[in-house]
Amino acid sequence: MKKILIRILISVVVIVGILIVLVWAITFHPPAVQAETVACAGNPPIIQPEQSLKVLTYNIQYMSGKNYFFWYEGGEDERASPEDIAKTIEGVARIIRAENPDVVLLEEVDDGSKRTDYEDQLARLLDLLPTDYKCHTSAFYWKAAFVPHPKVMGAIGQKLSIISKYQLEQATRYQLPLTPGNILAQQFNPKRAILGARLPVEGGEDFVLLTTHLEVADRGSEVMRNQVASVADRLETLSRAGNPWLIGGDFNLLPPGQFDKLRADQQLNFRPETELKLLFDKYQAFPDPADIAGDEGQQWLTFFPNDPSFTEPDRTLDFVFVADNIELMDGHVRQVDTLTVSDHLPVIAEFAFRPTLE
């Protein structure tokens, strides 16, 4: 009997070991800091001192459009149709062409996902944009060869992307703190990150462009506070080095004062005092919380839930923050023709920076 128990124990240990190796092999384990590939065509221009630039930041919801209420939001839908995905990619391209920004920051760009037919969505989007968008770089923040969730049961690949008319150099992925919890589930969950890229400036310090997509807000966890603190540390490092910088993206957190305006059932995952206050207190932001809280605050809302009980945007989750040596000149949230493209709306900001000349 003792020998049988030992054999059973050994078999269990071997099986568990094989499962651990298998899970590790099919999931994503990036280092804290990772260099990313930059692709540039031809000879893109470099930024001139005191030049103004226009940036568009946009969570494109993996090009799935607004015809669905997905399972992870409380609905039943598992994926968008290929027809809706194609229509949405055209819609995103139309918006970028109309706004004609100098740089584009994108979140939730699928690449290799079963739910979007394994397509590299950035490559397809670039084919629809003018050829003066010569440079791009990307970093994965959700990646697995197979996710054993009954609503997924296949590969997932999702990335942050930066597109630029100007020369990009030295792109870097910075890992953000992970959501605590079940260690097995953690392997298959997104691993949120910051993607940064350097843009050379004629005669001055590099301009550093960053984008991020923070965790979905969880009132009962410290992950949001930890991720915001990590973002703040990265920005402080750049400021100490004298680099002008801009970060845009989906922060998944409210601006100060917006909590009380949310529908009661939507307040559950947010804290009355937003964790994002750390960045608002230190840096210039667009949209500005004062404008969002004002009489015309509706024009600064950036998130339109897929839940069919909502008929319009109800909160602001997408922002641009800039260094002290950058002047925010103008901007808007494009709402008029974007409500059927994504659950997020594009934020467009124009700015000028004053680089320190050598």
Question: Per-residue DSSP letters for 44-78?
Answer: ---BPTT-EEEEEEEE-GGG--SS--BGGGTSSB-
Which residue in 193, 77, 200 sits closest to 135, CA to CA? 200
Q: DSSP letters of 12-33?
A: HHHHHHHHHHHHHHHB----SE
| 49 CB neighbour count, 10 Å cutoff | 13
The two structure tokens encoding residue 123: 């490559």
Contact between 62 and 116 (Cβ < 8 Å): yes
Element (H, E) at 136: strand 135-147
SS3 state of residue 88: helix
Torsion-angle region of 181 (φ positive above 0: left; ψ -120 to 50: alpha; else: beta): left
pLDDT on residue 14: 66
Residue 145's contacts (CB-CB under 8 Å, 6 or more residues apart) are 25, 26, 27, 155
Separation CA 157–CA 114 (nearest Å): 9
Assess whether the previous peptide bond of 287 is cis (omega < 30° from 0): yes
The token duo for 315 is 């909160």
Determine which helix (DSSP H) or strand (DSSP E) holds 204, and give its type and residue range: strand 204-213
Contact present, 349 and 287 (Cβ < 8 Å):
no
Residue 249: strand pairing partners: 212, 319
Contacts 24+ apart (CB under 8 A), 213-217: 213/59, 213/107, 213/108, 213/141, 213/160, 213/249, 213/250, 213/252, 214/176, 214/249, 214/250, 214/251, 214/252, 214/253, 215/176, 215/179, 215/190, 215/252, 216/252, 216/269, 217/252, 217/253, 217/269, 217/270
pLDDT in the model for residue 358: 42
**Nearest by Cα to 286 from 238, 322, 320:** 320
The pLDDT tens digits along the chain (358 residues) read: 777 777 777 666 667 677 777 788 899 999 999 999 999 999 999 999 888 999 999 999 999 999 999 999 999 999 999 999 999 999 999 999 999 999 999 999 999 999 999 999 999 999 999 999 999 999 999 999 999 999 999 999 999 999 999 999 999 999 999 988 788 888 999 999 999 999 999 988 899 999 999 999 787 789 999 999 999 999 999 999 999 999 999 999 999 999 999 999 999 989 999 999 999 999 999 999 999 999 999 999 999 999 999 999 999 999 999 999 899 999 999 999 999 999 999 999 999 976 444 4
In angstroms, rounded to a whole number, what is the distance separating the alpha carbons of residues 55 and 33? 25
Going by the DSSP 8-state scheme, the letter that residue 214 receives in this structure is P
pTM metric for this prediction: 0.95
CB 349 within 8 A of CB 54: yes
- Res 5: pLDDT: 76
